[in-house]
Amino acid sequence: ANYACFVIFIILRIFLIIKIYNNPVPVPTNEYRKIFEECAALTDTQVSFSFVNVLLCTVRFFKFYEFQPRLRIVNKTLGAATVHLFHFCIIFFVFFVGFAVLGNIIFGAQVRDFCS
């Protein structure tokens, strides 16, 4: 999965470079916005695949803790608490989204950072 993310990242980077070189924009034009938005979308996709790749590498890193006794205890503890951590994350997400919506409703009209 890591290699697939890395290969997709490289392919997206190549598409971005090809798009930039194949679309020279003459100076007095209004096409900048379209080309920049397409390039920004490709860059955002690249960043997303990089995030997934780093996340997978981090998870795989825990697999190599098995050889050391103290770190093995951490792995076993996290493994035993997985269900409880998952339920905590669900409840935390619900409360977090609730407070974000409340902040948008209460402060959205007055504070520029809360309006969308």
Tokens of 84: 């409880």
Q: How far, CA to CA in Å, does 86 sit from each of 12, 25, 71, 78, 106? A: 33, 49, 21, 11, 30
The total of other beta-carbon atoms located within 10 Å of residue 20's CB is 14
Looking at residues 4-33, what average pLDDT do you find? 76
- pLDDT of the residue at 98: 94
Print burial letters for 94-116: b (CB count within 10 Å at least 16), e (below 16).
eeeeeeeeeeeeeeeeeeeeeee
Q: Does residue 28 surpass a pLDDT of 70? A: no
CA distances from 9 to 2, 5, 22, 59 (A): 11, 6, 20, 19
pLDDT bin (cut points 50, 70, 90) of residue 27 is: low
Distance, CA of 9 to CA of 14 (rounded, Å): 9
Q: Which of 106, 6, 89, 92 is nearest to 49 (CA)?
A: 6
Q: What is the pLDDT of residues 60-108, one digit of tens each?
A: 887 777 788 888 888 889 889 999 999 999 999 999 999 988 887 877 7
Going by C-alpha positions, the residue among 14, 15, 19 that lies closest to residue 35 is 19
Question: Mean pLDDT for the chain?
Answer: 82
